[in-house]
A and B are shown apart, each in its own frame.
Chain A
Amino acid sequence: MLIATKINVSIGKTPILHGVNFDAQAGQLSAVVGPNGSGKTTLLKAMTGDLPYTGSVVLDGTDVKVIPGTQLATRRAVLPQAAGLAFPFTVLEVVRLGLTAGLGAQDRGLPQRALAHVGLAGFEGRLYHALSGGEQQRCQLARVLTQVWEPKRDGQASWLFLDEPVSALDIGHQLEVMTIARQFADAGGAVVAVMHDLNLTSMFADSILLMKSGHSVVQGNPQAVLSDEYLSRAYGCRVRVNVPPFHVQDAPYILPHMADLI
């Protein structure tokens, strides 16, 4: 279980996050959504220790600040939004960096399996630079999966932090990647994902934090959070939430209204 309490982040003198609370559970996919500039990525970076913050982030009962980095790396992997590469590594060499964390190192075949898992089997010998944006994103996902391959180890959940994992992907690969995240959670792991697409979020998330201007608007299950009222308030435009008869688990889906911008 992850509990983030009263997270404040300032960049320079500009406050970005104002006392945001967030929690996520093992076995669940917890999403963070909100308009551009609402602080989704900032919150993720605070929780992963990439940005200085005040407040507390407690992972399975321990403040993350006191967990040694090497130990944390065996339990938690982070997929950043953009991942440039300074030197011409091959796809396999990039994914193997996920073995750096140690414990997975016994299994040398893991990178190949992770690549196959994200649909990049046969890409091992390609240069990372020569991949398309979407392929690079999935290659990085394979690296992250290599790092925490088992969703649950020694009774403890592994954590995946994903920053807009499907932003560069086409609709087919979006579903593929979200399904991988879903399976990871279903197998006892914990996934925290910053998401842009509300409908994908609705389909795959167990819990959603809706943010606006560095504040938390509401956190809860999709049915509770994805309402006309909350979304209109957060996004500043009128939206219509529907529940179609054919849809999974009564997941709401969202249509923006063309007219009547608030």
Chain B
Amino acid sequence: MAVVEAGSQFASRQAGDRSGRAMTVLIGCAILLVVMMMASLTVGASGTSLFQALMAWASGEPIELRERVILFDIRAPRTLLGALVGASLAVSGAVMQGLFRNPLADPGLVGVSAGAGLGAILAIVLGGLLPPALAVLTGMYTVPVAAFVGGWLSTILLYRVATRKGRTSVAVMLLAGIALGALTGAVAGLMVYIADDNQLRDLTFWGLGSLAGATWAKLMVAGPLIVLALAATPFLARGLDALTLGEATAGHLGIPVQRMKNIAILTVACATGASVAVSGGIGFVGIVVPHLLRLSVGPSHRYLLPISALLGAAFLLGADMISRTIVAPSELPIGIVTATIGGPFFLYVLLRNRSLLDM
């Protein structure tokens, strides 16, 4: 923990109080996010000077149709969706790590994303078999809701399997994640034989993880779920902090532990389900972002959760920009970018936290 210790030395006015620094980092991340959103709107394969167009539009001058389409029909929903998905991935990672009291818990690694993916895959393929009346009723919400239910059930399953007497076994947690991943892969493979061509394209997109299909419609579907999950996090902060001391002690501090855990699980499921439904499995954001932030602002969830949301959003927009420029005019799935950054980072975290694996 040498890095952490070195970090804690330049504490704010009051020794041991990192809230001043947290506010600075929060403002920094908010500015970074605004910059990334501007960049995301204007950087890409199209080659035109969209920044000037955006500035012109902002000052009320008319702009060309082509630029307007790229800016507002393609880039804007993609940027907003990227920011929301990035925020939800980072926050669900941070909440899950607090809930499991382990810095290695992440929805992508322990099978919550896989569970959500399973729900989504089933909804994509079997949704076509629903009676038309019912299909109209559930409409475009079928896939996100199925993903939410899949993520929710797998989080509950995971908690039941991996946590005994208030302690979480990392080994069991990761093994359960492998099992859920394998099951998802098997069902996805099976569904390939049932699916029609359109569904097949949707399924392929799942495995890779991408923001390429972002539309206003998708944003309308996933946005509310993600915003709902993000809105719940301020109510979790105190409870997750107290939970660091153990469930019994959290209870003695007046935290309604069981209710808080249920809300945390629902929040993770909601955020993961919604983001998996619109962007497939994008890995590692939930590990990288909270871990980096704990090094600088400390583990207090009061700051960790909101700053994770901001930095996660900025991080995913950055990864998305790389994914659509590095092989332009073609486009790399964003999951490849986040895995390239996150894989080695995760190995580094593992090296630093090997003792946690003995639990």
Contact assessment for B251 and A93 in the assembled complex, using a CB-CB cutoff below 8 Å = no
A83–B244 Cα distance when bound, in Å, is: 10
A84–B356 Cα distance when bound, in Å, is: 12
In the complex, chain A residues whose CB is within 8 Å of the CB of B199: none
Contact assessment for B4 and A88 in the assembled complex, using a CB-CB cutoff below 8 Å = yes
> Which residues of chain A from 54 to 95 have any CB-CB distance to chain B below 8 Å in the complex?
69-70, 72-74, 76-78, 80, 83-94
Interface size on B, residues (CB 8 A): 32
Contact assessment for A86 and B248 in the assembled complex, using a CB-CB cutoff below 8 Å = no
CB A3 to nearest CB in B, in angstroms, measures 20
Contact assessment for B103 and A87 in the assembled complex, using a CB-CB cutoff below 8 Å = yes
A50–B238 Cα distance when bound, in Å, is: 20
> Which residues of chain A from 94 to 130 have any CB-CB distance to chain B below 8 Å in the complex?
94, 97-98, 100-102, 122-127, 129-130
Known: A48-B248, A127-B4. 10 other contacts (CB 8 A): A50-B251, A70-B256, A86-B102, A89-B298, A90-B11, A90-B298, A91-B16, A100-B253, A122-B15, A124-B16
A147 within 8 Å of B by Cβ? yes
User: Which of B1, B5, B8, B253 counts the most A-chain CB atoms under 10 A from its CB?
Assistant: B253
A236 within 8 Å of B by Cβ? no
CB A80 to nearest CB in B, in angstroms, measures 6
Contact assessment for B245 and A83 in the assembled complex, using a CB-CB cutoff below 8 Å = yes
Q: Given A88-B1, A90-B16, A92-B16, is A97 in contact with B242 using a C-beta cutoff of 8 Å? A: yes
Which residue on chain A has the smallest CB distance to residue B252?
A: A78
Which residue on chain A has the smallest CB distance to residue B9?
A: A125
Q: Given A86-B102, A97-B241, is A147 in contact with B253 using a C-beta cutoff of 8 Å? A: yes
A186–B201 Cα distance when bound, in Å, is: 75
Q: Given A90-B8, A93-B298, A127-B5, is A80 in contact with B249 using a C-beta cutoff of 8 Å? A: yes
Size bracket, chain A contacts:
35 or more
Contact assessment for A83 and B246 in the assembled complex, using a CB-CB cutoff below 8 Å = yes
In the complex, chain B residues whose CB is within 8 Å of the CB of A101: 253-254
| Of the residues A45, A86, A90, A100, contact of B101 by C-beta under 8 Å | A86
Q: Given A74-B254, A147-B253, is A87 in contact with B244 using a C-beta cutoff of 8 Å? A: yes
Contact assessment for A125 and B16 in the assembled complex, using a CB-CB cutoff below 8 Å = yes
User: Which of A83, A127, A147 counts the most B-chain CB atoms under 10 A from its CB?
Assistant: A127
Contact assessment for A93 and B300 in the assembled complex, using a CB-CB cutoff below 8 Å = yes
Which residue on chain A has the smallest CB distance to residue B245?
A: A83
In the complex, chain B residues whose CB is within 8 Å of the CB of A76: 252
| Of the residues A78, A93, A102, A147, contact of B16 by C-beta under 8 Å | A93
CB B296 to nearest CB in A, in angstroms, measures 12
B261 within 8 Å of A by Cβ? no
CB-based closest 3 A-B pairs: A73-B254, A92-B16, A87-B299
Contact assessment for B253 and A127 in the assembled complex, using a CB-CB cutoff below 8 Å = no
In the complex, chain B residues whose CB is within 8 Å of the CB of A98: 253
B75 within 8 Å of A by Cβ? no
Contact assessment for A126 and B16 in the assembled complex, using a CB-CB cutoff below 8 Å = yes
B255 within 8 Å of A by Cβ? yes
A49 within 8 Å of B by Cβ? yes
B18 within 8 Å of A by Cβ? yes
19 A-B contacts (beta carbon < 8 Å): A45-B248, A48-B248, A49-B251, A69-B251, A73-B254, A76-B252, A78-B252, A83-B246, A83-B249, A86-B103, A88-B1, A88-B294, A89-B299, A100-B241, A100-B242, A100-B254, A124-B15, A124-B17, A125-B16
